Amino acid sequence: MYTRRKRCANNCKQSGRVSSRHPTTPPTGSPRPRRWGASRTEEGGAVQGLMQEYPLTLPMIFHRAVEMFGDKRILTASPRGLEETTYADWGERTRRLGGVLDDLGVTDDGRVGTFAWNTERHFALYFAVPCTGRVLHTLNIRLFADQLTYVVNHAQDEVIFADRSLLALLAPVMKDLESVRHIVVMDDGKGEVPDDPRIVDYDELLAAASPVDFGVDDENRAAAMCYTSGTTGNPKGVVYSHRSTVLHSMGAMLTDTLGVSESDVILPVVPMFHANCWGLCQAGAMAGSTLVLPGPDLSGPAVAGLMEGQRVTLAAGVPTIWMQVLPELKGRDLSSLRAIVCGGSAVPKALSEAYRQEVGLPILQAWGMTETSPLASVCRMRSGLGSLGEDERAEVRSAQGIISPMVDCRIVAPPSTEGLPWDGKAQGELQVRGPWIARDYYNDPRSQESFTEDGWLRTGDVATISPDGYIRLVDRTKDVIKSGGEWISSVELENEIMSHPKVAEACVIGVPHDRWQERPLACVVVRPGETLERDEVIEFLRPRVAKWWLPDDVVFIDEVPKTSVGKFSKKTLRDRFAGHKLAT
């Protein structure tokens, strides 16, 4: 159950090193009464462990960050310049923000939406909302209007905290948001404020609020929710518990995953509305890392400037981000970097190698989904592979990596649940399970399509797994090209095409064929100032892939359309080229 929030007593510290704990009150509720000396639950039962039952909840992370790392920094790149605060001062504002939620009358388990950039204010909401028992709902600012309306109404958000600069995106749907009683505007310096009686000012509310104590007893209570990007049908709601979030944070701190630590300076370019910001906010707070939040400017020069200027050690973003940052790195001192994390879609081998040549670090590929919190695998190089040459190591790094500790994986041929061999050849649907993996969608009858009867999440990815455990995604089940009874990996074709020096981006889709059912069509974006012909692309691929994999045609486009989370939108291209006549 939820420990009732209390207004801070007069002796609570109001500045400097903040603490909301009291000597006689445990931080997250009192343990259950126990009989001393007991080691069995009942006569003749199995011997029980005698460890304490301690709820894994976000207030624990919050208190650790504020009390142990109060002097560590949180920086936000804003239109006004670089703004800096400490965990101690952030903690005070975060507890006041808990008071704001009380003052607004948000119910005990009310959903609180955010429509915001990566900022310290957003980071405060990451903790103020769940640490008072409410549910954080990060809203994707890139959703289409009808999808945004759907997710707000489906989640029944009671209040939305929105950056002023993003109100132009939110305003057109405000009238359709049925459950929203308040829209709290966080002034980031620009943008028209709509005339809506529900609008209130963030700074005024914060100034009038009193700090509250944080406490959540039930580790299985909902902490946050994100909706999938909704490439087919309405987005689906994924609800994270306090327990799953704490365990995921610990998982991100492991050496063989992301290795988040106190000495890190973390730059999460991945949006805070995208799959929990990949867990970097919670893991960073638990570790006491310095956080560099990029705000609204995600351009190549801005990101590269933060990497160099703030001596960033770990940066994380999707491939499209790292593509635009790469040209800005020449001549910069990036010696502080230890990891450039990339996920969201497959990392082109050519992009990873370009980073290795430019800054001495290849991209560290990670894989996951909204449903996996999202960290599910990381492509660390195993010690036994140290003797491989650079080309062979690059090939290993192009895989999605080894499954994270505490997460299980298998590949199967549905409807069978029998695992296929880990031989690097057998292809099947990748399925996962674990303590931070979803078991259901929020109030959604489509759930049964995505979860097996024996409790595994069906990821929708086709994969192989090598004997040493490296997962390699072949394709999405809906994107794999079925040609004459055989499968062609659109992802592998894309990676090969994007290794051509004249190619900026490439997306491969299947188009109907009278004889072979489907054949590949390559949609290619040429680098500025370059020219490229269809036959050049085909000849470049000829020694790199099987003959029957060669695209039947190549079309040149201005840009590859993207989904709301930056992935290639193959559905858009399939619709666009539905009537395309193949050249062969």
Same domain, 320 and 447: yes
Same domain, 447 and 303: yes
Nearest CA to 489 out of 565, 562, 541 is that of 541
Q: What is the pLDDT of residues 148-183, one digit of tens each?
A: 999 999 999 999 999 999 999 999 999 999 999 999
Contact residues for 360 (Cβ-Cβ < 8 A; gap 6+): none
Q: Which residue is associated with the tokens 């002796």?
A: 11
**Boundaries of domain holding 519:** 481-576
Q: What is the pLDDT of residue 21?
A: 35
Same domain, 183 and 302: no
Task: Give Cα separations from 78 to 100, 145, 276, 290, 297 (angstroms).
Answer: 24, 26, 21, 17, 8
Decide if 548 is catalytic. no
Decide if 228 is catalytic. yes
Q: How many CB atoms lie within 10 A of CB 418?
A: 8
Q: What is the pLDDT of residues 331-364, one digit of tens each?
A: 999 999 999 999 988 888 899 999 999 999 999 9
**What confidence category does residue 547 fall into, taking pLDDT thresholds of 50, 70 and 90?**
confident
Active-site residue identified among 190, 425, 478, 482: 482
Decide if 531 is catalytic. no
Active-site residue identified among 449, 487, 533, 539: 487
Domain tally for the chain? Answer: 3
Same domain, 356 and 215: no
Active-site residue identified among 228, 257, 372, 464: 228
45: in domain: no
Mean pLDDT of 383-403: 95
Active-site residue identified among 120, 308, 353, 371: 371
Last residue within a domain, chosen from 420, 444, 476? 476
More confident residue, 562 or 371: 371
Instruction: Indicate the residue type of 362.
Output: P
Last residue within a domain, chosen from 179, 205, 227? 227
Lookup: tokens for 441: 């969608």
User: Residue 559's domain is classified under what CATH number?
Assistant: 3.30.300.30
Which residue blocks in 2-86 are alpha helix, DSSP H? 58-68
Q: What is the pLDDT of residue 130?
A: 98
pTM: 0.83
**What confidence category does residue 4 fall into, taking pLDDT thresholds of 50, 70 and 90?**
very low
290: in domain: no
Mean pLDDT of 260-280: 96
Last residue within a domain, chosen from 461, 476, 491? 476
Decide if 482 is catalytic. yes
User: Residue 113's domain is classified under what CATH number?
Assistant: 3.40.50.12780
Q: Is 125 left (phi over 0), alpha (psi -120 to 50) or beta?
A: alpha
SS3 519: strand
Same domain, 507 and 415: no
Q: What is the pLDDT of residue 34?
A: 53
Nearest CA to 414 out of 477, 372, 323 is that of 477
